[in-house]
Amino acid sequence: MTEEFIPYSRSESQKSLAIALGIISSFFVVEALGGYFTHSLALLADAGHLLSDVGALALALFAFWMARRPASPERTYGHLRFEIVVALINGVVLWAVAVFIGYEAFRRFADPPEVLGLPMLLIASVGFVGQTVSAAVLRRASQESLNVRAAFVHVATDAVQSLGVVAAAVLMLTLRWYLADPIISMAIAVLITWTGLRITWASLQVLMEGAPPDVDAQGLRQAMEVVEGVREVHDLHIWTITSGYNALTAHVALEEGLAMAEAQRVLATLHALATREYGVEHVTIQIEAKPPEWPEGRHPTP
């Protein structure tokens, strides 16, 4: 039994991304110019991360556009997986940004330049407000898409690092301690590395077709096997097509002597079990009268 393919549409997520993209693009220009004129690496680092956010948000919107393209004989699931590829790219870009910021911060430890603290403080404060608003816009949509989640992490991380830039500006204004600039920048680099690692790992898990973390594959198999009329479940595979859209295929051997109507009831029960209790949207189950004769030691496992 195969669930009919459902076209992919997340208009609210796309709207949230478009709003966040407009806000972040504006603040990137402000922080880049501010970092240049105030000689603040922390502010330039924040602007650099904002630039990666602009790219991340633009790619995320493009991924949604690609995902809405219809399926074809060559791509039977359409372009849904493109969203995950974009999330992976965003994770790798975060690493590149972190390396650049870390390198520049290390260079400034030996001879920290004087930084214009007051303009830096004002610009970082305004940036913090804008990034917080953008993160709030993306937060709800991030629950339904790894693509949006990657964009949300970009923006939320920026909000945190802007707060760090504010702290560095205060230290330089009050104590004239200019080492605060590269120290905060290094901390930002570490934070970006960690968030990039999480996004990259989640993307690779999907691309390698691992079982979704929110689906208990072994528990689902055991639940299927205790359904009345089921003798055995084998060739069970569960994977994620794209964020929030999990798929399952399985071969189910029924007890001998079941009538057609009873077999259909078992099939409907299995389908409902997978979709309603385990959140698998696309279910394909092949019914067999008895399990195949597998050579010894080669019985398939999920």
Domains of the chain by range and CATH?
11-207 (1.20.1510.10), 217-288 (3.30.70.1350)
| Phi and psi torsions of 267, nearest 5° | -60, -45
Q: Enumerate residues 6+ apart whose C-beta is below 8 A from 65.
A: none
Residues with Cβ within 8 Å of residue 165, at least 6 apart in sequence: 40, 42, 43, 46, 120, 124, 127, 128, 184
Tell me: pLDDT of 162 over 70: yes
Give 234's strand partners.
251
Residue 162 CA to residue 159 CA, distance in Å, equals 5
pLDDT band for position 261 (cuts 50, 70, 90) = confident
pLDDT at residue 145 greater than cutoff 50: yes
Span between the terminal Cα atoms of the chain, in Å: 19
pLDDT at residue 197 is higher than 70: yes
Share of the chain above pLDDT 70, in %: 88
Give pLDDT, residue 220. 92
pLDDT, residue 274, reads 92
DSSP tag of 81:
T
Say whether pTM exceeds 0.75. no
Supply the pLDDT for residue 299. 46
- Top pLDDT among 184 and 264 is at 264
Q: Which of 34-38, 227-231, 252-256, 279-283 has the lowest mean pLDDT?
A: 34-38
What is each CA distance from 140 to 2, 143, 239, 293, in whole angstroms?
Answer: 31, 6, 24, 49
From residue 83, alpha-carbon distances to 34, 79, 104, 181, 218 in Å are: 34, 8, 32, 36, 27
